[in-house]
């Protein structure tokens, strides 16, 4: 049975600009054939079991030729696969989607097209440039600044000048001198406003606004590279006053997140929404210890205890996932009280339809232990937490003679991250902040990156994490509460002080 090919426009880079329909189709893919301009955040949504084929192209450096891409799509579909062709921007606007669909039709392959937001519209909007405005332009013309196989550009510059509308050139930054000189020689005023936006919609977006006579030289001096969008017209003047993206509080800041991969999304997305360029550099991973033997031990123990205590979201996840996999009814917790160390752990518990009964005001092991010492006298307590967890918690319980058992349901593994790009940026001083959400992330980071600590500021979630960072000579700032929102607010406050 033949499969199907779905062409999906992934938008200009910001994963929030990909359509809901596009994400729904992507999650059912068996094979994903993707381009260079597809945002990294979007690639994270490719199903883990899907075959991933990178056919990315750079100007004058075609990784895989178009005929080979056509062959891959056809071959995978004929083998019965659900194939997604993931393309930057919109599939049918200078993306050669029409050629691919034509090839599929000629080979009797079923296909579907999910349109995407084109960079011709989105990128100017992220630069504060409305491509139409009643006072400046009532029409817009989208033109390719690139031809296949190094053929010369064939642009009717005379018509471009006469149209009187906004001109948007895609894939044209390498030919910007030819384009601007062609427009000027056909009558365009030399002082016509012109904007060039590099890496549009992404946190590291750069914008230049000048005139058609000067823009090419400025782009060369500033080393502007593809992907970049060129906008020519009076509307570019509005890019100074209407630029909302540049005004985001963390715009221009480079931040590294060291949290485990499966927990990094929350803090990463919060930082990105505020304009930061975020690099995920997971230094630890959490691994379940719940095998069949431990699973049944936990079941027996639950019957004996009055209070169940979770000290991390990972502990909650591993315990309840094991119950789900073994088809154990959640009512086994009937009559039990549950305590959590903080909001994140409580939120994880809610995902499984459970609610906590106690949580300390300060989210750490010491204060959780003090709270339990007050409310569990005469009761039996079961700790379900990490192997080698904080001794502060058990110390406080022992002090108040609380009866408890300490059961390790997962352990933390240090990762010697091989992402050399992040390491190089740290050593060059290109990183502004590195977030640490536990003392384990600090220890693991120190193993992976053992120098350059004076070139960035460590943002620590609490005093225990901060103490570990100070041991390694890291310059730190500490959130008042051990919650992600406080860490993010702290970074925003620090950036405002420096501006």
- Tell me which CATH code domain 121-239 carries: 3.30.950.10
pTM here is 0.81
Provide the token pair at 333: 């917790």
- pLDDT at residue 418 in the model: 67
**CATH for 4-117, options being 2.40.30.30, 2.40.390.10, 3.40.1010.10, 3.40.50.1370:** 3.40.1010.10
Question: Are 268 and 214 spatial neighbours (Cβ–Cβ below 8 Å)?
Answer: no
- Residues in Cβ contact with 389 at an 8 Å cutoff, skipping those fewer than 6 apart: 311, 365, 383, 406, 408
57 as an active site residue: the answer is yes
**Cα separation of 131 and 126, whole Å?**
11
Sequence spans of domains, the chain = 4-117, 121-239, 254-283+415-498, 286-414
* Residue from 438, 410, 411 nearest 342 by CA: 438
Cα–Cα distance for residue pair 76/438, rounded to 1 Å:
44
Cβ atoms of 63 and 55 within 8 Å: the answer is yes
Measured CA to CA in angstroms, residue 251 lies from 83, 122, 246, 420, 422 at distances of 36, 18, 6, 24, 19
Q: Please say whether the beta carbons of 129 and 235 come within 8 A.
A: yes
398-451 per-position pLDDT tens digit:
999 999 999 999 999 988 766 688 888 888 999 999 999 999 999 999 998 888
Q: How confident is the model over 253-302, as pLDDT tens digits?
A: 999 999 887 777 789 999 999 999 999 899 999 999 999 888 888 888 88
| 319 three-class SS | helix
Top-level class of domain 286-414: alpha beta
Q: Are the folds of 254-283+415-498 and 286-414 the same?
A: yes
Helix, strand, coil percent content, the chain, rounded in steps of 5: 40, 20, 40
CATH architecture of 254-283+415-498: 3-Layer(aba) Sandwich (3.40)
Lowest-confidence segment of 63-67, 175-179, 191-195, 469-473 by average pLDDT: 63-67
Mean pLDDT of the chain: 92
* Catalytic-labelled residue, pool 14, 35, 90, 364: 35
Torsions phi, psi for 301 (to 5 deg): -65, -40
Summarize pLDDT for 222-240 with one digit per residue, the tens: 999 999 999 999 999 999 9
Q: How many helices (H) and strands (E) would you count in the chain?
A: 18, 22
Q: How confident is the model at residue 62 (pLDDT cuts 50, 70, 90)?
A: low
| Burial class of 315 by CB neighbour count within 10 A (0 to 12, 13 to 18, 19+) | buried
57, 251, 336, 366: the catalytic one is 57
């Amino acid at each position: 049975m033949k499969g199907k090919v779905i062409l999906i426009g992934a938008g200009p880079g910001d994963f929030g600009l990909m359509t809901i329909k596009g994400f729904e189709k992507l999650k059912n893919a068996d094979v994903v054939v993707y381009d260079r301009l597809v945002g990294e955040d979007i690639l994270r949504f490719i199903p883990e079991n899907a075959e991933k084929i990178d056919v990315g192209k750079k100007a004058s450096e075609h990784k895989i030729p178009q005929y080979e891409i056509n062959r891959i799509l056809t071959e995978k579909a004929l083998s019965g696969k659900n194939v997604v062709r993931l393309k930057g921007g919109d599939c049918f606007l200078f993306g050669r989607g029409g050629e691919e669909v034509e090839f599929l039709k000629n080979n009797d392959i079923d296909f579907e097209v999910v349109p995407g937001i084109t960079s011709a519209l989105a990128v100017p909007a992220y630069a504060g440039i409305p491509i139409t405005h009643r006072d400046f332009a009532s029409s817009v013309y989208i033109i390719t600044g690139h031809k296949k196989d190094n053929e010369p550009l064939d642009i009717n510059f005379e018509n471009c000048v006469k149209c009187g509308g906004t001109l948007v050139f895609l894939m044209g930054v390498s030919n910007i001198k030819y384009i601007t000189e062609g427009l000027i020689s056909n009558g365009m005023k030399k002082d016509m406003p012109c904007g060039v936006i590099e890496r549009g919609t992404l946190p590291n977006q750069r914008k230049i606004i000048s005139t058609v006579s000067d823009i090419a030289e400025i782009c060369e001096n500033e080393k502007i590279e593809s992907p970049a969008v060129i906008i020519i017209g009076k509307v570019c003047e509005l890019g100074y006053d209407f630029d909302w993206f540049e005004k985001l509080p963390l715009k221009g800041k480079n931040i590294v997140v060291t949290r485990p991969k499966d927990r990094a999304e929350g803090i990463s997305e919060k930082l990105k929404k505020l304009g930061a360029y975020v690099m995920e550099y997971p230094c630890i991973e959490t691994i379940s210890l719940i095998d069949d033997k431990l699973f049944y031990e936990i079941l027996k123990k639950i019957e004996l205890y009055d209070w169940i205590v979770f000290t991390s979201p990972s502990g909650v996840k591993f315990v309840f996932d094991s119950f789900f996999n073994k088809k154990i009814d959640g009512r086994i917790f009937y009559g039990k009280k549950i305590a959590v160390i903080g909001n994140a752990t409580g939120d994880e518990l809610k995902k499984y339809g459970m609610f906590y009964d106690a949580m300390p005001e300060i989210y750490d092991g010491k204060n959780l232990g003090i709270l339990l010492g007050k409310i569990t006298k005469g009761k039996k307590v079961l700790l379900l937490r990490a192997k080698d967890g904080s001794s502060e918690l058990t110390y406080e319980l022992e002090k108040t003679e609380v009866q408890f058992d300490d059961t390790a349901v997962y352990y933390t593994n240090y990762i010697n991250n091989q992402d050399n790009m992040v390491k190089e940026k740290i050593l060059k001083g290109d990183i502004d902040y590195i977030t640490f959400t536990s003392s384990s992330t600090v220890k693991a980071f120190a193993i992976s990156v053992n120098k350059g600590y004076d070139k960035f500021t460590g943002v620590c979630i609490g005093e225990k994490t901060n103490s570990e960072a100070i041991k390694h000579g890291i310059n730190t700032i500490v959130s008042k509460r051990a919650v992600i929102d406080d860490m993010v607010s702290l970074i925003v406050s620090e950036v405002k002080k420096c501006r």
